Structure 1
Amino acid sequence: MDLGTQSVRVLLADDAGRVLALGSGRLTSRRPAAGARRHEQDPRQWWEAAGAASRQAFGALTLTQRRAPVGAVAVCGTSGTVLLSDEHGVPLTPAIMYDDARAADEVDRLNARLGAGAPVQVSWALPKIGWLLRRHRAGGAAGAYVAHSADVIAAGLVGHRVNTDSSHALKSGYDVVAGRWDRRLLDAAGLDPAALPAVVAPGSTLGTVTHDAAGHTGIPAGTPVVAGMTDGCAAQIAAGALTPGAWNCVLGTTLVLKGVSSVLIDDPAGAVYSHRHPDGGWLPGGASNVGAGAVAAEFGGEDLDALAGEAGRRYEPAGAVVYPLTARGERFPFVRPDATRFELGTVSSRAERYAAVIQGVAFVERLCFERLAELGADVSGQVSITGGATRSGYWNQLRADVLGRPLILPRTPEPAFGMAVLASAARRPAVAERAAAMVARRAVIEPRADAHERLTTGYRRLVAELDRRGYLGASLRASRR
């Protein structure tokens, strides 16, 4: 199950990786007028949508398939989304979504108290937790516990409050190296550890589906429910990027890179963070604020295929270079809350402007890989690409050309499929082994022989301007030079 921003997706797969059925349930958000910095969802709607999506998926099975046992269920959710629940796991508050910025003042206070070190970011759950608890207690209520979005669905399935997984806990103040909640972070945020859930490894059994939950979802009673991971990690599993040196690049509204390392990658600036690999080792990665959201904002409703066709014929590279931030501030490959979108040069047509925007995204993707290599990450393995932007064949080819390496398109890139792989590993010890058996390729995109050097001209212009504005750190600047 994948609890996204706009929908809940339920996917049923067999042990060979064949998708047997899909279901979806729509979600809505509460977003007041622009500038209010507020983004909430009703967790009760999550449960209703999860039930509808699951019943739809199970209803699509053949009679023979319905008789087969369900091995396990795993749930992923958005990183940084948090709410408060009671002692039974029942939600007490609306869910504060990952991009809700009302705790920005709390972020400033946290970083002032913490002093030197990697800064807490507004996208983290930690500042939202402190903000939520203070307002909850101010209303005279007590007995509130922290829950992540996936925890709410898991609690509904098993009928009690559940442990959380280390992946969702990462941005709530959990120290994945020490394997415990970080007291320094909790003290700075003024949080009582008793309000936080116990943390377990992804794939750990949380309980079994109750009879009531079975009636709501169609999942047979007694089915094991295992701890999941965040949606970014779920997409990485779905792409099969689980061996050292392998990477998955998710290009949706924003750009997210996640890979595998046998050693912990230390980034003093905090742009790169690491989840625990379910099999041991690390899943380093980072999330940029550039992405396909820049295309949606500027070219929504236009014929993107026509623009892409002309861009490929006439504008490689485009006459202008665009740093296509979707919002103010950058998180990766560098951390600069004050970073702003910029453009260099001029364009002669809509197609050339489209070319400049998508080239800008590809250039930042290349810079992200160079930042990872500069930090000591192994980037020599296969690179898979997932996310909504992979619907554009031209953009896929452009990214392969800018990176100068083959890109793999997985057959089933859905985060929900990644959770099916993780759920299947509940009966077997290694997630990477299960992914090797279940994940297949749809296509491999080879870089064109002459394109990489041609496009490097625009890349260098972008990096030089980032450097001139002071966005690049000293080490990355030296590496690029």
Structure 2
Amino acid sequence: MAEMTDENETAWLGIDLGTQSVRALAVTADGTVLGRGSAPLGGRREGVRHEQDPEEWWQAVCTASRSALTTLTGVRIGGLAVCGTSGTVLLTDGEGRPASPALMYDDGRAAAEAVRLREAGLAVQDTWALPKALWLVGVHGEGRVTHQPDVVTARLVGGPVPTDSSHALKTGYDLQRDAWPDLALDLPEVVLPGTRLGEVCPAAAEATGIPAGTAVIAGMTDGCAAQIAAGALRHGSWNSVLGTTLVLKGAAPAPVLDPTGVVYNHRAPGGTWLPGGASSVGAGALPADVDPGVMDERAAAFEPSGAIAYPLVSPGERFPFLAPDATAFLLGTPADDADRWAGILQGVALAERLCLDYLDHLGAPLDGPLTLTGGAARSAYWNQLRADVLGRPVRVPEQTEPALGMAALAAHGVTGEPLPDIAERMVRIRTTLDPNLERTTLFAEPYARLVDELTERGWLLAPVAVHAHSRLNQETNVCEDLPRGAGNCATSHDGAALDDGTRP
């Protein structure tokens, strides 16, 4: 239910085009949620195939937006922005209408195109939008390469719109040169996130309930949206988004360069760089036919688990290493279903730690706060477990939805105020969890075993493994020197992450 509002109060509308649903939030400048709505999305999954009907996106946006705004009275909608799943792409005609199905972020049918692009010197992964765009043209013929949110924003303003540089990144757009690759593709104009695309047209207003004339602002990917919603925009801050899979995104003054292409860099309004990567481990590896609250309680008896897991949701890994042929595995045999559950929770946390070690290996700043968002952040047990495995404090905000990030970006696009300032006012931190020293130490040996196993399988590069062991050894020595109950053993006294001196 919407809270009582002042007459003529301004709210900002964020719309998130997810995998399973569309969500809309109407939020004030201080983070008060005045209205929310959602609508389900379907899709087609068959093996490596994963596609959606773009028309469903628009219908879901209409439903979710009307629901979010239906109870608001005396409230002005100052503007809106839309985020989508990174790497989801389709073809449209000259009027911006869909001319193909949408290939979703994890559709794997363009592997051959990705190989040819890599041979040509482009650092792309198999499921990125660029190889999928080439595949679509080969199957469906010519068309304008279009990203998920562009379909919705075109309908909102009544005609084709530029794409934003955030969604364009995985389609090969070079953010440092502000240029597309030289390929035979019909590629759109690109603008920075936060750019005004137009206004809601009368036809869209009637369909969505969003007032005609409302400013439509260019958005960012869902991962960037979640990062904004976490308030993780100051240099050295990081947001870990754990849902079906795991995404880590941070803020840095310069791009974090990675010759393997595992870590990529978005650019936020104001010039800040947003390095990050997307792993294929995550909550999607958990069985769906059990009560997660009950299983969390039972899992607490298995720390560490009898089985070390690398819980990939689907074949292939993208971060903290690139291994298209990687598969999920268990080292050891779980005692029962609770132990297996524990192994998966711990396995995701261990992979998360390796992601941070990889980022440190590349020289990324890690000395700011780490915020947990995504559906898994609803699990208090898992949040504490992750803090313990990582050996660092974590923050959990009240609202963990990417739609909140889009509301903040809409406010930035209309007012021109710096995005970090807007986000910090909108984001409300629910709790901060400190790591437990004894539990951190418990997971040192399983982490070392996992690093070794990934190296032996040829997936993790040896220098990265050496770096991970070096950081683990230093942190373990610090832990041993501290008295019991001393708190976070993986950070220095000023709260900055320990540096083992091996950064490049």
TM-score by length of 2: 0.88
> Could you tell me how far 1:386 is from its partner in structure 2?
0.7
Instruction: Report how far residue 241 of structure 1 moved.
Output: 0.4
SS at 1:75's partner residue? strand
**Aligned partner of 2:411 among 413, 424, 437:** 424
Name the structure 2 match of 1:40: 51
* Other structure's SS at 2:465 match: helix
Structure 2 counterpart SS, 1:175:
coil
Structure 2 residue corresponding to 1:105, chosen from 112, 117, 133 = 112
Matched, 1:307 2:314: no
CA distance in 1, matches of 2:194, 2:69: 22
TM-aligned CA deviation for residue 20 of structure 1: 0.5
Q: Does 1:128 align with 2:99?
A: no
How far residue 56 of structure 1 moved from its aligned partner, in angstroms, is: 1.4
Distance in 1 separating the partners of 2:102 and 2:291: 36
Q: Where does residue 21 of structure 2 map in the other structure? A: 7
Partner of 1:342: 329
Gaps of 5+ in 2: 1-14, 470-504
- Cα distance in 2 for residues equivalent to 1:38 and 1:223: 37
Aligned-pair distance for 1:60? 2.1
**Aligned equivalent of 1:433:** 421
Q: Tell me, yes or no, if structure 1 residue 401 matches structure 2 residue 400.
A: no
What is the match of residue 60 of structure 1?
A: 71
- The whole-number CA distance in structure 1 between the counterparts of 2:63 and 2:110 is 33
Q: Which residue does the alignment assign to 1:73?
A: 80
Task: Tell me what 2:446 maps to.
Answer: 458
Preserved contact between residue 358 and residue 468 of structure 2 (Cα < 8 Å): no
Q: Does 1:364 align with 2:351?
A: yes
Does the CA-based 8 Å contact 1:279-1:432 persist in structure 2?
no
The counterpart of 2:44, out of the listed 11, 30, 49, is 30
1:196 correspondence with 2:187? yes
Query: For residue 118 of structure 2, what is the amino acid of its counterpart?
Result: N
* Alpha-carbon shift at residue 359 of structure 1 (Å): 0.8
Q: Name the aligned partner's letter for residue 57 of structure 1.
A: A
Question: Of residues 81, 85, 89 in structure 1, which corresponds to 2:92?
Answer: 85
1:448 is displaced (CA, Å) by 1.4
Q: Give SS of 1:180's match.
A: coil
Matched, 1:161 2:172: no
- Give the gaps of 5 or more residues in structure 1: none
Normalised to the residue count of structure 1, the TM-score between the two structures is 0.92
- 2:110 and 2:127 in contact (8 A); partners too: no
CA 303–3 in structure 1, closer or farther in 2 if over 3 Å, else same: closer
State percent identity of aligned pairs.
54
Instruction: Give the AA of the match of 1:443.
Output: T
Equivalent residue for 1:16?
30
Deviations 1:384-413 (A, max 9, x none): 001111121111110000011111111111
**One-letter code of the match for 1:149?**
Q
| 2:263 alignment partner in structure 1 | 272
Question: C-alpha separation between the residues in 1 aligned to 2:329 and 2:53?
Answer: 37
* 1:411 equivalent in alignment to 2:366: no
Deviations 1:92-129 (A, max 9, x none): 22212112222222222222333xx63x2121111111
The letter for the 1-side match of 2:359 is L
Mapped to 2, the partners of 1:11 and 1:474 lie a distance apart of: 45
SS at match of 2:206: helix
Task: Answer whether contact 1:246 1:382 (CA < 8 A) is retained.
Answer: yes
2:36 counterpart SS class = strand
Matches of 1:322 and 1:100, distance apart in 2: 24
The amino acid that maps onto 2:98 is P
Please name the residue that 2:144 is paired with. Answer: 145
Does residue 51 (structure 1) correspond to residue 42 (structure 2)? The answer is no
